[in-house]
Amino acid sequence: MAESLLNRIIRHIEMSGPLPLAEYMHWCMSDRQSGYYQTGKPIGQKGDFVTAPEVSQMFGELIGIWALNAWHELGCPKPFNLVELGPGNGTLMKDMLRATSISEAFANAVNVQMIEISGTLANIQSQVLGNAAKVEWHTEIDKVPDQPSIIIANEFLDVLPFRQYVKSGGKWHENCVGFDDTRNLSWVLGAGVLDTQDLPQEHINEPDGAVFEVSNTRETFVTNIAKIIRKNTGVALFIDYGHMKSGFGDTFQAIREHSFADPLSEPGKCDLTSHVDFDALKRAVTGKELEVYPVMTQGEFLLSMGLLQRAGELGKGKDAATQERLKLEAERLALPDKMGNLFKVFAFSTIPDLPPFAKQG
Ligand code: SAH
């Protein structure tokens, strides 16, 4: 029988010392044999967590209409890429394609490009999409054809590895995974420290035990997308839970069967994520000859895109139960105490105006 992921991680720590959280996360999520996205059925009521496209068809439909408008603003390029990063069950793309099918010109010009590392999920996506459009799968964004691109990612950035630094004795040490006497994985602070130049100014006031998170992987990923868009023109839209201003705090979470789990107890068996620092991502792409728009909340974005009107339209002439369901779905997506405020929408492009985003002030 293949050696368990836990044993392989322990052997690695024995040989090379504690694993920085970012590396531990990479093993747990992306290991080819036992990584979370290879083995699990993460998304949906029967999975570990529910994402916005799974909450309501309205989410994908409104993003589809947003993409259709962006395509017009780009001058209706033919052909063009509609790229989705980490498409999960394929629901968002399915709903987007249905909504955009109102434009025959868009449907004829679109090249759907799914960027997915999990073979298991790519199979599910392929079944869900059927032969709705010309669809190609890649494991890396660099493989998409050289042409204008509309790039969408929902709850994708949060799964990419990040580092945590913990203030201890006045210095910021990296949070790492080691193991204790009984060979259980446990948290240890690494010897390396973070240069205070890389921290927000207020770090001086933070007490010992404070946590700072940074993700080079996410910044590099978004910078790479900015390059692709600058080269061939296009727009990028990222939706995720996170904050608009870089700050301090531990946002690491492990989710299994819709509840919080211990991230160290069974590597590869739960979803490991953290909140996305949109401030850092904005800094990474600003000044690169692109329009970078102010970050919006998901609630603001969906309401500006016509969420309530869409719910009204779908419910027209339907029974009370259907209308009530649509109302609850809209509330879950947009109310501040549900997904409305925690989730943010971040976009940049090669075009000056991209409703509903305000221009950078
Ligand atoms: N966007 C979907 C799913 C989010 S879960 C939704 O909203 O429902 C994260 C998705 O990203 C999964 O499909 C996972 O397999 C994929 N993924 C994780 N790391 C990836 C990587 N490095 N490159 C491409 N896809 C990745």
- What digits encode the pLDDT tens for the residues 267-298? 999 999 999 999 999 999 999 999 999 999 99
- CA–centroid distance, residue 85 to ligand 1 (Å): 6
Ligand 1 pocket test: pick from 29, 58, 89, 116 the residue with the most ligand atoms within 8 Å of its Cβ.
116
Ligand 1 centre to CA of 116 (Å) is 6
Q: What is the mean pLDDT of the chain?
A: 95
What is the number of the ligand 1 atom nearest to the C-alpha of 52? 7
- Indicate if the pLDDT at residue 41 is higher than 80: no
Closest Cα to atom 17, ligand 1: which residue? 86
Question: What ranges in the chain are assigned the alpha helix state H?
Answer: 5-16, 21-30, 36-39, 52-55, 57-73, 91-100, 104-109, 119-129, 216-232, 278-285, 298-304, 307-315, 320-334
pLDDT value of residue 358: 85
* Cα-based distances in Å from 40 to 26, 51, 94, 147, 202: 15, 16, 22, 34, 40
Chain centroid offset of residue 89 CA: 14
Q: Which of 331, 323, 354 is nearest to 52 (CA)?
A: 331
Residue 29 backbone dihedrals phi, psi, to 5 degrees: -90, -40
80 DSSP assignment: E
Q: How far is the CA of 159 from the centre of ligand 1 (A)?
A: 7
Centre of ligand 1 to C-alpha 217, Å, is: 14
- For 90, 221, 246, 247, 316, the CA distances from 279, given in Å and listed in that order, are 28, 15, 6, 9, 40
Residue type, 228: I
pLDDT at residue 142, as a whole number: 96
CA–centroid distance, residue 103 to ligand 1 (Å): 28
Which residue is closest in CA terms to ligand 1's atom 13?
88
Residue nearest to atom 6 of ligand 1 (CA): 88
Residue with tokens 């509309």: 150
240-268: average pLDDT: 95
Tokens 């608009």 label which residue? Answer: 244
Q: Of all protein residues, whose CA lies closest to atom 24 belonging to ligand 1?
A: 116
Question: Residue 54 CA: which ligand 1 atom is closest?
Answer: 8
State pLDDT tens for residues 54-94: 999 999 999 999 999 999 999 999 999 999 999 999 999 99
For the entire predicted model, the pTM comes to: 0.97
260-267: long-range contacts, CB 8 A cutoff, minimum separation 24: 263/28, 264/177, 264/184, 264/185, 264/186, 264/187, 265/185, 266/6, 267/5, 267/6, 267/9, 267/24, 267/27, 267/28, 267/34, 267/185
The alpha carbon torsion through 127, 129, 132, 135 (nearest 10 deg) reads -100
Distance from the alpha carbon of residue 157 to the mean position of ligand 1, in angstroms = 8
pLDDT tens, 135-192? 999 999 999 999 999 999 999 999 999 999 999 999 999 999 999 999 899 999 998 8
Question: Which residues have CB under 6 Å of ligand 1?
Answer: 37, 43, 51, 53-54, 86-88, 92, 115-118, 121, 154-156, 159
Q: 92-127 b/e with 16+ CB inside 10 Å = b?
A: bbbbbbebbeebeebeebbbbbbbbbbeebbebbee
Q: What is the pLDDT of residues 314-326, one digit of tens each?
A: 999 999 999 999 9
Residue 330, burial from CB neighbour count under 10 angstroms (0-12, 13-18, 19+): buried
Q: Which two tokens stand for residue 208?
A: 């010992």
In the chain, what percentage of residues exceed pLDDT 70? Answer: 99
**Residues of the chain above pLDDT 90, percent:** 90
Around Cβ 4, how many Cβ atoms within 10 Å?
14
- pLDDT of 361 reads 55
If DSSP codes are grouped into helix, strand and coil, which group holds residue 143? helix
At residue 70, the pLDDT reads: 98
* Burial of 225 from C-beta contacts in 10 A (0-12 / 13-18 / 19+): buried
- Rounded to an integer, what distance in angstroms lies between the CA atom of residue 52 and that of residue 91? 10
pLDDT in tens, 87-137: 999 999 999 999 999 999 999 999 999 999 999 999 999 999 998 778 999
240: CA distance to ligand 1 center in Å? Answer: 12
Q: Whose CA is nearest to atom 20 of ligand 1?
A: 117
Determine what percent of the chain falls in helix, strand and coil, rounding each to the nearest 5.
40, 25, 35
